[in-house]
């Protein structure tokens, strides 16, 4: 008889914030389907802000855990999916003139997550420097898009930084033999491999 594996999640402040982000997803999706653009934008902004806070607190309070990293990864993935869904529902007219760029961005995003899932059964990215910078760029782009408007240069910056980061994720997944949550960069991994 198979027994269900119980996962013990330490109730630290960073983990509680990440869990909030996970549990908020259905409610934010409801805002999308009901057409509440401002509520949707506010809660995505709040989730992006708490994403920064929980990582900072985990490091500051020395509460970084493997399970916390996994929860944070799923919360990041969910936030990405919600933000993309909201763009299609509320802001697609701004994207349409250069929609093909957004489709390329999405293609790299899906490939990076799908490849990681096929190889390691986990579908989120690594906490590299590029991923962190891209996360800030994407978050700022989203906030500006919903609260100030669409800017072409910012759109291109978001697309390029995303494609570079997703490409790095694909290459890291290819090179790794087993799953690792924290890597500073592809170059750091290559340097490690040279030293072995």
The segments of the chain whose pLDDT lies below 50 read 1, 4, 6
Q: What is the DSSP string of 62-74?
A: T---HHHHHHHHH
In a 13 Å sphere around the CA of 6, the CA atoms on its Cβ side amount to 2
Q: Is 126 exposed, middle or buried (0-12, 13-18, 19+ CB in 10 A)?
A: buried
DSSP 187: H
Distance (Å, whole) CA 5 – CA 12: 21
H-type alpha helices, the chain: 13-34, 37-60, 66-90, 92-95, 99-120, 129-147, 152-175, 186-195
Nearest to 70 by CA among 23, 22, 24: 22
Per-residue pLDDT at 3 = 54
Per-residue pLDDT at 157 = 97
Please tell me the total number of residues recorded for the chain in this structure. 196
- Residue 171 has phi, psi (to 5 degrees) of -65, -40
SS3 19: helix
Per-residue pLDDT at 1 = 46
Per-residue pLDDT at 132 = 84
Per-residue pLDDT at 7 = 57
């Amino acid at each position: 008889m198979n027994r269900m594996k119980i996962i013990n999640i330490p109730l630290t402040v960073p983990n509680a914030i990440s869990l909030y982000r996970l549990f908020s997803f259905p409610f934010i999706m409801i805002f999308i389907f009901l057409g509440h653009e401002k509520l949707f934008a506010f809660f995505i902004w709040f989730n992006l802000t708490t994403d920064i806070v929980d990582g900072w607190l985990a490091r500051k309070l020395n509460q970084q855990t493997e399970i916390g990293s996994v929860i944070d990864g799923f919360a990041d993935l969910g936030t990405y999916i919600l933000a993309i869904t909201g763009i299609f529902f509320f802001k697609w007219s701004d994207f349409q003139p250069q929609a093909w760029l957004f489709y390329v961005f999405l293609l790299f995003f899906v490939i990076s997550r799908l490849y990681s899932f096929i190889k390691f059964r986990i579908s989120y990215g690594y906490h590299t420097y590029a991923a962190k910078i891209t996360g800030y760029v994407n978050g700022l782009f989203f906030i500006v898009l919903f609260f100030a408007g669409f800017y072409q240069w910012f759109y291109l910056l978001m697309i390029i930084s995303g494609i570079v980061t997703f490409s790095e994720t694909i290459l890291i997944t290819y090179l790794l033999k087993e799953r690792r949550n924290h890597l500073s960069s592809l170059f750091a991994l290559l340097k490690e491999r040279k030293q072995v």
